[in-house]
Amino acid sequence: MKLLHCGDVVGKAGRRAVLEHIPNLRRRLDLDFVIVNGENAARGFGITAKICKSFYDAGVDVITTGNHVWAQRDIVNHIDGDPRLLRPLNYPPATPGRGANTYEATGGRKVKVIHPMGRLFMEPLDDPFAAVEAELANHRLGTTVDCVVVDIHAEATSEKMAIGHAFDGRVSMVVGTHTHVPTADARILPGGTAYQTDLGMCGDYDSVIGMKKEAAVARFVKKVTDERLSPAEGDATLCGVYLETDDASGLATRVAPIRLGGHLAEQWPL
């Protein structure tokens, strides 16, 4: 199976990158499944039903989110009816939406996407390790599902790495989102699980993690700020990882970063 997972989409620039590149990437890489983290897609905070539809129309199969999932209020009433939009798995049980689901990829193969959120320097949620463990209790890689992807939305690199090692050999890939900077550690762990600490963002890197530089810098150098953060709108880079899995085991056979356009050096997975 061939899969693409793109990092946090930030604002209009990030949306343009997704809508421009995903259709071509599906064809050029012969992709079976595409995941995009969309939690910053709407003016830098949250996502809307309209944006979700535009991503689906462009060839995105599943959208993950994170701590800004509820920033656009219309999503609260939308998310229960959209099984392709995931909120963090380890929110309390009564929270709208779902944090994991199983989807059909090319050829009828089944892909399970699990979306926990970290707790270090983040909201005090339920245990993400236990939440992922519960999801895997009824789904065995290579038997009931053909691929399992874990998008761990977290601040701390240590927590993301711990999730990767904790589930090595039991999922196809663990990738981190949230910090918006692509890490240089894409690899296959000893048990066969692909891993990268952070995918980076789909957004304008002439910025402070996707936000306009002036207002972001002002927040560090003076106590009173007179401008709210808003997304940078220049040329965007699409950042993500490309994954290939073994059809029998579901484990990774290849993982490689991808970066296209914008201000970062291009990285092509083939």
Give the whole-angstrom CA distance, residue 193 versus residue 189.
5
Catalytic-role residue among 68, 115, 178, 180:
68
Going 239 to 9 to 103 to 115, the CA torsion angle's sign is: positive
3-state secondary structure the chain: CEEEEECEEEHHHHHHHHHHHHHHHHHHCCCCEEEEECCECCCCCCCCHHHHHHHHHHCCCEEECCCCCCCCCHHHHHHHHCCCECCCCCCCCCCCCCCEEEEECHHHCEEEEECCECCCCCCCCCCHHHHHHHHHCCCCECCCECEEEEEEECCCHHHHHHHHHHCECCECEEEEECCCCCCCCCEECCCCCEEECCCCEEECCCCECCECHHHHHHHHHCCCCCCCCCECCCCCEEEEEEEEECCCCCCEEEEEEEEECCCCCCECCC
pLDDT tier at 270 (50, 70, 90 boundaries)? confident
Domain segments of the chain: what residues?
A: 2-260
Average pLDDT, stretch 124-150?
96
Q: What confidence score (pLDDT) does residue 133 get? A: 98
Query: For 230-242, how does the pLDDT look when each residue is reduced to its tens digit (9 = 90+)?
Result: 999 999 999 999 9
Are the C-beta atoms of 265 and 238 separated by less than 8 Å? Answer: no
Let me know if 68 is a catalytic residue: yes
Query: For 26-77, how does the pLDDT look when each residue is reduced to its tens digit (9 = 90+)?
Result: 999 999 999 999 999 999 999 999 999 999 999 999 999 999 999 999 999 9
Which residue type occupies 71? A
Q: What confidence score (pLDDT) does residue 143 get? A: 94
Which whole-number Å values give the CA distances from 214 to 46, 178, 227, in the listed order? 22, 21, 9
Percent of the chain with pLDDT over 90: 96
Q: What confidence score (pLDDT) does residue 223 get? A: 75
Is 80 exceeded by the pLDDT of residue 184? yes
Percent of the chain with pLDDT over 70: 100
Q: Which residues contact residue 220 at a Cβ distance below 8 angstroms, ignoring those fewer than 6 apart?
A: none
Q: What confidence score (pLDDT) does residue 217 get? A: 92
Q: What confidence score (pLDDT) does residue 17 get? A: 98
Q: What confidence score (pLDDT) does residue 80 get? A: 98
Q: Which token pair is 47? A: 């996502």
Q: What confidence score (pLDDT) does residue 59 get? A: 98
pLDDT tier at 260 (50, 70, 90 boundaries)? very high
Is 90 exceeded by the pLDDT of residue 198? yes
Report the candidate in 4, 5, 13, 3 with the shortest Cα–Cα distance to residue 177.
Answer: 5
Q: Flag whether the pTM goes above 0.95.
A: yes
CATH topology of domain 2-260: Purple Acid Phosphatase; chain A, domain 2 (3.60.21)
Give the whole-angstrom CA distance, residue 73 versus residue 75.
5
